[in-house]
Structure 1
Amino acid sequence: MEINRILIGIDDSKYAEHAAEYGFELARKFNAAVGLVNIVEPVVISQATPGIDPLMGSALQSNAFEEMEILDIQKDISGNMVDATIKKYGEGLQVTHFTEYGSTADGIINCSSEFAADLIVLGTHSRSGFDRLFMGSIAEDVVRHSEIPVLVVPFKEAKAR
């Protein structure tokens, strides 16, 4: 088995940061290139009738943040997150970064194909029971649909005493 290219999925959670640290350590051990992906899920601004407030039925004032401005803000946040992760863990490694838009699981799988990854590394919240049922699991979705191995790195919170 050769692992030459590792794709690491990140977001702004401690779970993803823990997985990123683990993924970068693996990349060093295998002398592998790293692909770092952050998925920006679109913000939906619902408006049943353009220009009409759906609750009050009155005309809406022009919103200061149009959808494109929100997308630009999300893109900047994603870029800052990727840059910070590379700075913290990626020294001396070849790192390619991706910012994708849309469904998180699909975006990760698409990036793994585009990057020609040999392994995907993701964090997980270690949810179970009703939390998992209602919240879903991006990691589980990636595991189910990926054509390459997926390493899911759990993160357990330290219990308060």
Structure 2
Amino acid sequence: MSPATETEPARLFYEPGASWYWVLAGPASAVAMLLIEKSGGNGWEPLVPAVFLVLVTGFVALQVKAARIHTSVELTRDTLRQGTETIRVAEIVKVYPDPEHAESEKEVQRWQSARALGELVGVPRGRVGIGLKLTGGRTAQAWARRHRHLRAALTPLVEERVGPPGADIDDSDEAGSRW
């Protein structure tokens, strides 16, 4: 083990944002074009498949790199990183429970319309928001694909500092209050 890895805090939760396996779409498209040309009676003409290989691989690699930067999630004992934004776990006062009607907009809880952590405008597609009450009365949404795992890892960290739910925390913005 190198000295740099010894000082890194242990990850309690991690999602990379996207898989590099998607880049294989480039070579797959090139092979498909070769087979289409061969079955069409044109023989093996490598120019069009090479163009597909370069363009598709490059475009998908760019998308995967962006997703790995902007939609990755990492939780350690001290920090929660959502994309490029990192907050200290010490700033989190409460993890709100799952909404009873996640799909219904009739009973939206206040945290569901709060700012999503990270530099993105909202919760990224395919992710589910988790309500957080932060210091200073702020509310925000953490998010993850495996949101139940993130919640299960984050809740004990907050509760060991603040105490169990219902202990000296103002819940005036919880269920039933739309704004």
TM-score by length of 1: 0.30
Structure with the bigger RCO (C-alpha within 8 Å, sep 6+) is 1
**Structure having the higher Rg:** 2
TM-score normalised by length of structure 2: 0.28
